[in-house]
Amino acid sequence: MFGDHVDAGTQEARQETRAPLAVLDLGTNNCRLLIAMLDRRGGFRVVDSFSRIVRLGEGVEASGLLSEAAIARTITALSICADRIRRARAGQVRCIATQAARLAKNADLLVARVKAETGLDLEVISAEQEADLVALGCAPLIGRRYKGALVFDIGGGSTEIIRLAKAPGGVTKRFAASMPLGVVTLAERGGLTGRAGYLRLRGELAERFGALARQMPDFDPAAEHLLGTSGTVTTLAAIALDLPRYIRSRVDASWHQTARLAAVADRLAGMEQRELAAIGSIGTDRADLMLPGCALFAAICDVWPSAMLRVADRGLREGMLRQFSQAAS
């Protein structure tokens, strides 16, 4: 289903498509743009990228509506993205929105305003489509020694769990589910303070994830590793690697002992928000989201106890690029 990835770094001599491609992921917390050149063998070379925290899903779980302030922040970020896309003269563009837009009763207003004010066509995708794109983007990182991986994407409004297995000709998806639990929605529920709150939430989440684990009783933690993507996981990896600031090239595709990353999460859970904000790879924008993120991460590690974990600073956008590549081949 997902095929084999071609590393763009080794394909410089191959002919690339004439116009770059632009893909945009508008999540509950972040707006992320990637502009890349695809070569004829399926690899890609990034020519521009942009990321901004917009908190589109702020208050959506309680009200069922996207707030005017959140829409305004989002359109400001999308206007920057639209300018970059125009300057790059992108040949094909795809812009998707996920959980916050799925939940909001006024998502059609967002879509209309984005079109009118930025010219971008925003597509609200289903949870199943989101899981497929995450899987497609992360599939190249399944370790050679393993028969598969349990992919998890901790988002702002939802967490995707996807089980991938190697198969003749590529990688297949054996299981996928989306839980309406993310770092923003959990943070907004309140009452999540201190180590006691962290441990309580971790236990509750482990019960929720345990229901999914029972649907795949043959999961083998010795032969299948964990593969995590999201701001929470990449931040934990940056801290485990002792980076003074976030460096994507050091984090993406890095291997970690699961227990070591879980210990980092446990340590962060005992820190005050001001202490978290002082950590270079977290900062003030993410400090209030780390405690729920750590609880989600630790619960996943509790339920699927693989010894090794690989970190992906990739996912939806790379999945869209690979879809473009597959369509062109």
Q: What is the reported pLDDT for 327?
A: 79
Q: Give the residue, 241 or 38, on which the prediction is more confident.
A: 241
**Same CATH fold assignment for domains 8-125 and 129-312:** yes
How far, in Å, CA of 3 to CA of 48, rounded? 25
Average pLDDT over residues 51-75: 95
How far, in Å, CA of 278 to CA of 285, rounded? 11
CB-based contacts of 12, cutoff 8 Å, min separation 6: none
Percent of the chain at pLDDT exceeding 90: 84
Percent of the chain at pLDDT exceeding 70: 94
Burial 52-78 (b: 16+ CB within 10 A, else e): bbbbbbbbbbeeebbbeebbebbbebb
Average pLDDT over residues 111-117: 98
5 pLDDT above the threshold of 70? no
Q: What is the dihedral of CA 304, 309, 311, 312, to 10 degrees?
A: -60
How far, in Å, CA of 329 to CA of 325, rounded? 6
4 pLDDT above the threshold of 50? no
CB-based contacts of 1, cutoff 8 Å, min separation 6: 170, 171, 172, 173
258 Rama class: left (phi>0) / alpha (psi -120 to 50) / beta:
alpha
Average pLDDT over residues 63-85: 97
Most confident of 94-98, 169-173, 288-292: 94-98
* CATH number, span 8-125: 3.30.420.40
How far, in Å, CA of 235 to CA of 200, rounded? 22
Kindly report the pTM of this predicted structure. 0.89
DSSP 8-state secondary structure symbol assigned to residue 9: G
194 pLDDT above the threshold of 80? no
DSSP 8-state secondary structure symbol assigned to residue 143: -
15 pLDDT above the threshold of 60? no
Cα 194 to its chain centre, rounded Å, is: 26
* CATH number, span 129-312: 3.30.420.150
Q: What is the reported pLDDT for 42?
A: 65
Q: Is the Cβ–Cβ distance between 17 and 40 less than 8 Å?
A: yes
Widest pairwise Cα distance in the chain: 56
DSSP 8-state secondary structure symbol assigned to residue 32: E
Average pLDDT over residues 107-119: 98
pLDDT class of 181 with cuts at 50, 70, 90: very high
Please return the burial class of 196, using the count of CB atoms within 10 Å of its CB with bins 0-12, 13-18 and 19+.
exposed
Mean pLDDT of the chain: 91
161 pLDDT above the threshold of 70? yes
Structure confidence by residue, pLDDT tens digits, 239-286: 999 999 999 999 999 999 999 999 999 999 989 999 999 999 999 989
Q: What is the reported pLDDT for 11?
A: 40
7 pLDDT above the threshold of 50? no
Closest CA to 238 of 208, 217, 265, 200: 265
Q: Is the Cβ–Cβ distance between 35 and 88 less than 8 Å?
A: yes
Instruction: Give domain limits for the chain.
Output: 8-125, 129-312
Structure confidence by residue, pLDDT tens digits, 81-104: 999 999 999 999 999 999 999 999
Poorest-confidence range of 4-13, 60-69, 195-204, 291-300?
4-13
- Edge-first strand order for the sheet with 44-53 is 44-53, 30-38, 21-26, 92-97, 122-124
Average pLDDT over residues 287-303: 96
Query: Taking the alpha carbons of 209, 300, 142, 129 in that order, is the dihedral positive or negative?
Result: positive
Cα 223 to its chain centre, rounded Å, is: 24
